[in-house]
């Protein structure tokens, strides 16, 4: 009887883990799509300006600056200079990438354990000119939402 209960518990935890992974992958990909939408919708501020404001992107980008109380725990706050720099650099990188590709496709979702943190990775393939390439967008879960942490 004990082995049957143990087997049921193992099976239930495996099914639950797979369902959670599917749910997480869907959520992470939806957030990536939102990030792309934000980056595609920005335009230079003011007449004849080349300054692009990525303020709406800040809620999707993980703070990884010098404040140890916030580092890897919260989204960026665009009202803070250090955070604004992180967000703007991230936004410019994504916008430049989006402007120079023809299309992209999700190839793989995976989770990589790094210390106590799970990194959720989305591997995309894309076409740039005549060549096919790949790029990985990494997210971690902080304060109940997935935040962009790295692009490789």
Average pLDDT estimate for 144-152: 95
| Residue pLDDT, tens place only, 34-86 | 999 999 998 776 655 667 789 999 999 999 999 999 999 999 999 999 999 99
Which residues are CB-neighbours of 141 under 8 A, at least 6 positions away? Answer: 24, 118, 120, 147
Biggest distance spanned by C-alpha atoms of the chain: 76
Predicted local confidence at residue 83, as pLDDT = 96
CA distance 99 to 43: 13
pTM: 0.82
Q: Please name each of the domains of the chain with its CATH number.
A: 26-151 (3.10.450)
Is pLDDT above 50 for 12? no
CA distance 139 to 149: 5
CA distance 124 to 9: 35
Which strands form 131-142's sheet, in the order they lie side by side? 104-114, 117-128, 131-142, 145-151
């Amino acid at each position: 009887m004990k082995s049957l209960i143990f087997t049921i518990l193992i099976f239930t935890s495996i099914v639950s883990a797979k369902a959670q992974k599917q749910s997480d992958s869907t959520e992470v990909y939806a957030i990536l799509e939102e990030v792309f939408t934000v980056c595609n919708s920005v335009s230079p501020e003011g007449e004849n300006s080349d300054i692009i404001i990525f303020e709406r992107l800040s809620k999707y980008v993980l703070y990884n600056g010098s404040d140890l109380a916030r580092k890897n725990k919260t989204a960026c706050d665009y009202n803070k200079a250090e955070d604004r720099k992180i967000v703007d650099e991230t936004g410019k990188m994504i916008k430049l990438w989006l402007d120079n590709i023809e299309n992209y496709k999700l190839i793989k979702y995976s989770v990589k354990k790094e210390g106590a943190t799970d990194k959720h990775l989305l591997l995309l393939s894309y076409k740039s000119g005549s060549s096919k390439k790949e790029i990985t967008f990494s997210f971690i879960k902080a304060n109940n939402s997935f935040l962009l942490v790295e692009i490789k």
